[in-house]
């Protein structure tokens, strides 16, 4: 088992014990993406988004993941919401990245 795989198993165990903990879910999603289990990561990012309205990062990562999975119609509202948060929270680099992603993608 690789180091990355052990990481996902570690976070999977933590999520199993504390399924309401969005930080464990976020870490599990990141580990799953790193392992190539991108579709499985979607649900964990979605939990993070549902639990914290002001959390920009899972919206960005889930939006980009959905784009990679060929689901641009689902990605766009997440990226737009992340852009609003980036502007509100004065995160200039994410704002630039999100504007670029939104301008490149389908409307």
How far is the C-alpha of 26 from the C-alpha of 23, rounded, in Å?
A: 5
| pTM exceeding 0.85 | yes
pLDDT for the residue numbered 47 = 97
The band of 14, judged by pLDDT with boundaries at 50, 70 and 90, is very high
**Residue 90 contacts by C-beta under 8 Å, 6 or more apart in sequence?**
none
Answer yes or no: is pLDDT of 107 > 80.
no
Q: Where are the domains positioned within the chain?
A: 3-104
Answer yes or no: is pLDDT of 15 > 80.
yes
For 43-100, write each residue's pLDDT tens digit: 999 999 999 999 999 999 999 999 999 999 999 999 999 999 999 999 999 999 999 9
The band of 5, judged by pLDDT with boundaries at 50, 70 and 90, is low
How far is the C-alpha of 15 from the C-alpha of 28, rounded, in Å?
A: 8
The hierarchical CATH code for the domain 3-104 is 1.25.40.10
Answer yes or no: is pLDDT of 3 > 60.
no
How far is the C-alpha of 62 from the C-alpha of 78, rounded, in Å?
A: 7
């Amino acid at each position: 088992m690789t180091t990355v795989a052990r990481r996902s198993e570690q976070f999977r165990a933590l999520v199993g014990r504390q399924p309401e903990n969005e930080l464990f879910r976020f870490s599990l999603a990141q580990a799953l993406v790193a392992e190539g289990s991108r579709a499985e990561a979607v649900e964990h990012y979605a939990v993070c988004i549902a639990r914290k309205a002001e959390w920009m990062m899972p919206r960005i990562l889930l939006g980009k993941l959905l784009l990679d999975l060929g689901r641009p119609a689902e990605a766009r509202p997440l990226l737009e919401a992340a852009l609003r948060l980036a502007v509100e929270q004065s995160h200039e680099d994410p704002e630039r990245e999100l504007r670029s992603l939104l301008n490149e993608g389908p409307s």
